[in-house]
């Protein structure tokens, strides 16, 4: 179980490129990185609009002089400082990843980059060579791979509990772009169908890279020998990039697979589904029930493995943070409670009683009421389990 104790003498000095106020993914990076005080955000070139980026960075608590107009200025200026950044996250649209990652490595930084890493394998391999030359780490934020139950899946397959793998069934779909006005409504969507910014694919790069990575993480031994991809642009203005695709796979061990990825799966809110079928048993995981793994042995009742329980493999417990019973969303709920209490403190300090009255948080009255509840329950129980007036 991980309990937030430090893993190094001090937090890593961390910068961000992109991830600004309007960004879809920036907040996920900051909460993921900063939750355990392992990374400290000290610099950024947060936005394609430098002024908005500076204002945003200051609002995040970054020193104004370390909110830069672009990544080039950030890498140059930070390199001059004794306390300059050591690691940078690149959370910009796809077409910028290669250039910024190479510049970061050249500047001696470790890199955490968004997917898809680059447009071509050649570019991605150049990044690998550069990272090795500079002795730096490059991480890619396939964020779903951190679910502890995904590690359990890997461990069960490694132990041979499924037997020989026969079928691999993968899906990452949603329906957000089922209509042709999606691009007009969202800047983040409009660049995703522009090959100059998004690269050679839309949903294959945007969605299915996640699920493909998960499949390789849980089954590192399963190498794809051949594949067949059929892709469509159901909204024709997205052509040549696809908003839907089916991929058939043949694996070296004789197994077969299919992957469906789509942003026009109208009405669907169940994004990823992974089903691995072996000669003895199957495993199935859905990201709408991300804490659960369904294990089906032929001829036996199905079992559900649940995150945080002692019966799981060590690899699934090593990064466990909450313990069994609690759902992962609990951390977000705690963050909201801390946020509301902070808002109340700020309003109180300003004597703003109107603002204070609008913040619904568990205040002193809620604390008193909890004690009252217990007192009344105990009084009833101690009186022989009788009705008592709630006082």
Nearest residue (CB) to ligand NAD, 101 versus 151:
101
Nearest residue (CB) to ligand NAD, 45 versus 149:
45
State the nearest-atom distance from the C-beta of 165 to ligand NAD, in Å. 26
Point out which residues bind ligand NAD (CB under 6 A).
17-20, 22-25, 45, 47-48, 70-71, 91-94, 96, 114-115, 141, 143, 187-188, 191, 206
State the nearest-atom distance from the C-beta of 32 to ligand NAD, in Å. 10
Phi-psi region of 61 (alpha: psi -120 to 50; beta: other; left: phi over 0): left
State the nearest-atom distance from the C-beta of 350 to ligand NAD, in Å. 31
The neighbour count for residue 110, using CB atoms within 10 Å, is: 20
Residue 244 to residue 173: CA distance in whole angstroms: 8
Of 99, 224, 115, 247, nearest to 172 by C-alpha is: 247
Burial of 255 (0-12, 13-18, 19+ CB in 10 A): buried
State the nearest-atom distance from the C-beta of 342 to ligand NAD, in Å. 25
Given a contact cutoff of 8 angstroms between Cβ atoms, the answer to whether 115 and 142 are in contact is: yes
Among the residues of the chain, which ranges form H helices? Answer: 26-34, 50-59, 71-80, 97-106, 121-134, 148-158, 182-185, 187-192, 195-198, 203, 209-218, 314-317, 330-349, 353-358, 364-382
Nearest residue (CB) to ligand NAD, 71 versus 251:
71
State the nearest-atom distance from the C-beta of 192 to ligand NAD, in Å. 8
Nearest residue (CB) to ligand NAD, 25 versus 356:
25
Nearest residue (CB) to ligand NAD, 98 versus 305:
98
Quick one: which H or E segment has residue 147?
none
State the nearest-atom distance from the C-beta of 22 to ligand NAD, in Å. 5
Residue 216 to residue 142: CA distance in whole angstroms: 12
Nearest residue (CB) to ligand NAD, 210 versus 277:
210
Apex 324 CA angle, 322 and 327, nearest 5? 65
């Amino acid at each position: 179980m991980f309990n937030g104790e430090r893993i190094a003498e001090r937090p890593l000095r961390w910068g961000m490129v992109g991830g600004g106020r309007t960004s879809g993914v920036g907040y996920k990076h900051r909460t993921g990185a900063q939750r355990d005080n392992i990374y400290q955000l000290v610099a950024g070139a947060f936005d394609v609009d430098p002024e908005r980026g500076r204002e945003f960075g200051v609002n995040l608590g970054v020193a104004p002089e370390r909110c830069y107009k672009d990544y080039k200025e950030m890498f140059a200026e930070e390199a001059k400082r004794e306390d300059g950044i050591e690691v940078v996250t690149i959370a910009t649209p796809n077409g910028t990843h290669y250039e910024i990652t190479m510049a970061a490595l050249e500047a001696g930084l470790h890199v955490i980059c968004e997917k898809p890493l680059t447009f071509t394998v050649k570019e991605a391999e150049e990044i690998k060579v550069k990272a090795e030359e500079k002795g730096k780490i490059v991480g890619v934020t396939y964020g779903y791979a951190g679910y502890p139950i995904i590690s359990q899946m890997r461990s069960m397959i490694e132990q041979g509990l499924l037997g020989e793998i026969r079928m691999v069934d993968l899906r990452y779909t949603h329906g957000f772009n089922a209509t042709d006005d999606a691009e007009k409504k969202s800047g983040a969507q409009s660049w995703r169908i522009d090959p100059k910014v998004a690269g050679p694919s839309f949903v294959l790069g945007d969605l299915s890279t996640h699920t493909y990575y998960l499949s390789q993480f849980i089954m590192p031994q399963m190498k794809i020998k051949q594949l067949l991809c059929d892709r469509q642009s159901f909204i024709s203005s997205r052509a040549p990039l696809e908003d839907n695709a089916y991929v058939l796979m043949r694996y070296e061990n004789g197994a077969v697979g299919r992957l469906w990825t789509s942003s026009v799966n109208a009405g669907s809110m169940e994004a990823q589904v992974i089903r691995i079928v072996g000669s003895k048993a199957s495993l199935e995981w859905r990201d709408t029930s991300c804490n659960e793994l369904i294990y089906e042995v032929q001829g036996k009742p199905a079992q559900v493995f649940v995150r945080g329980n002692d019966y799981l493999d060590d690899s699934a417990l090593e990064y466990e943070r909450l313990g069994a019973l609690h759902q992962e969303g609990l951390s977000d709920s705690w963050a909201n409670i801390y946020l509301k209490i902070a808002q109340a403190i700020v309003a109180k300090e300003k004597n703003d009683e109107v603002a204070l009255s609008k913040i619904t948080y568990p205040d002193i009255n809620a604390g008193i009421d909890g004690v009252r509840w217990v007192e009344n329950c105990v009084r009833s129980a101690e009186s022989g389990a009788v009705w008592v007036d709630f006082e």
